[in-house]
Amino acid sequence: MKVAVVGATGLVGTKMLQVLAERNFPVTELIPVASERSVGKLVEFNGQTFPVVSMENAIEMKPHVALFSAGGSTSLKWAPKFAEVGTFVIDNSSAWRMENQVPLVVPEVNEEVLTSDSKIIANPNCSTIQMVVALEPLHKKFKLKRVIVSTYQSVTGTGQKAVEQLMNERNGIEGETVYPYPIDLNVLPHIDVFQDNGYTKEEMKMILETRKIMNLPELKITATTVRIPTMGGHSESINAEFESKISIQEVIAALENAPGIVLQDNPKEKIYPMPLTAHDKDAVFVGRLRLDESHENTLNMWVVSDNLRKGAATNAVQIAEALHRKGWI
């Protein structure tokens, strides 16, 4: 099994290597790929070291699967070239997500859309992934009608330079900034670029990707995405309205038996999901379950997940595991 990781030296690429090792994915030959300035550097994986190679060299090696985390423009240029030599590309950027012929996959929700011809597969937005994992078992039981989501997103979602900005500000150090304002002791209601409709690109990703993944093209959904000075994971306040009558007991039963979810819902004991406790874990944590007393058949819940793992690296590796189970790689 030849596995390429494109963007292997970045924040998500490094996490992909970690997750591949932890989950014992059957890698016999690792092909780390990064920018030209990183070619020749050594990457450690499972106690061995592998040299970083160029895109062209990686394509010549015809990997069975390539996990991409190198930005949208890189994916648009190079993913088709890998696909041409028979490689399954699992792309973490937003470049391919809304293309009609490209599956947008969260294995717990819609693994069945994968086919042996799906040479380019899109990994969804991090905040979308954790939300649909939490909503899917409830949709199956009660039929989703409308979703209102507000996010509280970690600086790790922006990348290493954002983490450095936060820590520099916290320590009183002048340094490079990636946000338009300070992030420490602050909240930015602004993730990605603003669109003509007043929403940010991140908010529109959540709206459009959720409809595609859950196969609910008419779903009423709105989002507000917010950057906060945390690390460890993204948090979401979700208000979900359903067609059928709901009860907390039935909601708990549906979530307890759903794949990929850990229920943390004991307010009397102050047990609820937090980025601090979700950090470096693969699950989607759900809690603060309560009926919306202002609207019938409507649930409030709090959902937290590590955005670098389930929100990126782990979901990509799970897609690769699905391809392997099906005998396609």
- CA–CA gap between residue 319 and residue 235 (Å, rounded): 23
Structure tokens, 1: 């099994």
Listed in order, strand segments (DSSP E) in the chain are: 2-6, 29-33, 42-45, 48-51, 65-68, 88-91, 120-122, 144-152, 220-224, 234-242, 261-263, 284-291, 298-305
Q: Determine the Cα angle at 261 with ends 238 and 106, to 5°.
A: 80
Residue 197 contacts residue 208 (beta carbons within 8 Å): no
Please pick, among 139, 234, 279, 324, the residue that the annotation labels catalytic. 234
- To the query of whether residue 139 is one of the catalytic residues in this protein, the response is no
DSSP 294: T
HSE, side-chain direction, 13 A CA sphere, residue 301: 26
> 10 Å Cβ neighbour count for 53?
20
Strand partners, 148: 222, 239
Name the active-site residue from 126, 190, 279, 324: 126
- DSSP H or E stretch at residue 173: none
DSSP conformation letters of 123-170: PPPHHHHHHHHHHHHHHHHH-EEEEEEEEEB-GGGT-HHHHHHHHHHH
Encoded amino acid at 93, one letter = S
Q: What are phi and psi of 149, to 5 degrees?
A: -130, 135
Is there a contact between 255 and 134 (Cβ–Cβ < 8 Å)? yes
Say whether 234 is catalytic: yes
Kindly list the catalytic residues.
126, 234
